[in-house]
Amino acid sequence: MKNELKTPSLPLDSEDYLNQYFPDYVINGKSKKIKFNNLGENFAKINIHFMDYLKTYHVPVASLKLIDKNTIKFIKYNPINFSIKIINYIDKRTAKIFGKKEKEHLDLPLYEYHFGKGNNTLVSESHLISFNLINFEQLKVINRICSKVNAVLRSFFERRGVFLGEVTCSFGEHRNKIYLVNDFTPLSLKIFDPNNKNKKFDPYKLETPAKLRNYTDYILNLIN
């Protein structure tokens, strides 16, 4: 996914658990570090907040608890090597293909399946099944989870007067069960204010510490 910020993957394995540590920096699409104090703590806080919230709606989530300010403990899962981007509005690419108005809200979300790293990661369900990344029944389960995640989070943000434009979900498997494992940080959540009150940031252009901090603080204010 082009120019998308990435958090470093720093799992700390134990026999039954996996600890995900959030450092005070992220890496953008040009391999440039963007950092500020307490970034990792804030990312962990936001991530565990939404994971715990989704559990109350019986979404199967692999996270267990925050074990220190920067680290979340997970069930030790096997990663499923693709992610699903859930899009709730007509983006530029879709508007051009279908001749629709850009930024119009959708009643039903679009799902994009992404595999690998780089600029051209978009694949189809058929790719995932044909190359044995997942079987049909597992993909049905994952799609159902995505549908529920989107419904719950979209409602959460609407009650706060903002719109969930996009979220990217990743999954893992533990003892033959599919779990949601990531990602509810400011890098995945694309939230828009319909009244355009917050002009300090664009959730798609978080290329400086100041912009990323402003957007992170904005999400923290929504959940506090």
Is the pLDDT score of 77 beyond 70?
yes
Lookup: tokens for 39: 């970034």
Residue 191 forms part of a structural domain: yes
Q: Is the pLDDT of residue 114 over 90?
A: yes
Task: Give pLDDT, residue 200.
Answer: 72
pLDDT at 9: 47
Residue 30: pLDDT over 90: no
Q: What is the mean pLDDT of the chain?
A: 90
Q: Does residue 4 fall inside a structural domain?
A: no
Kindly state whether residue 3 falls inside one of the protein's structural domains. no
Q: Tell me how crowded residue 130 is: count the other CB atoms within 10 A of its CB.
A: 10
pLDDT band at 216 (very low <50, low <70, confident <90, very high): very high
Of 30 and 18, the one with more pLDDT: 18
Q: What is the pLDDT of residues 52-67, one digit of tens each?
A: 999 999 999 999 999 9
pLDDT top residue among 73 and 120? 73
Q: Give percent above pLDDT 70 in the chain.
A: 90
Is residue 3 predicted with pLDDT exceeding 50? Answer: no
Say what the pLDDT of residue 13 is: 56
Is the pLDDT at 4 greater than 60, yes or no?
Answer: no
CATH number, domain with residue 124: 3.30.470.20
Report the pLDDT value the prediction gives residue 120, as an integer from 0 to 100.
Answer: 85
- Total of domains in the chain: 1
- Tokens linked to 190: 């694309």
1 inside domain: no
Sign of CA dihedral 114, 115, 121, 127: negative
Residue 35 lies in a domain: yes
- Contacts of 6-12 spanning 24+ positions with Cβ under 8 A: 6/187, 7/43, 7/183, 7/185, 7/187, 12/71
Whether omega for the bond prior to residue 68 falls within 30 degrees of 0, making it cis, is no
Q: Is residue 2 part of a domain?
A: no
Residues 6+ apart with CB under 8 A from 16: 75, 76
Average pLDDT over residues 154-161: 97
Range of the domain at 147: 11-223
Please list the residues that pair with 78 across neighbouring strands.
Answer: 173
Rounded mean pLDDT, 125-143 = 96
Structure pTM? 0.90
Cα distance between residue 61 and residue 74, in whole Å: 9
- pLDDT digits over 162-183, tens only? 999 999 999 999 999 999 998 8
pLDDT at 11 over 90: no
Mean pLDDT of 137-157: 98
Do the domain assignments include residue 93? yes
Q: Which of 1-15, 28-42, 51-65, 202-216 has the lowest mean pLDDT?
A: 1-15
Specify if 160 maps to a domain: yes
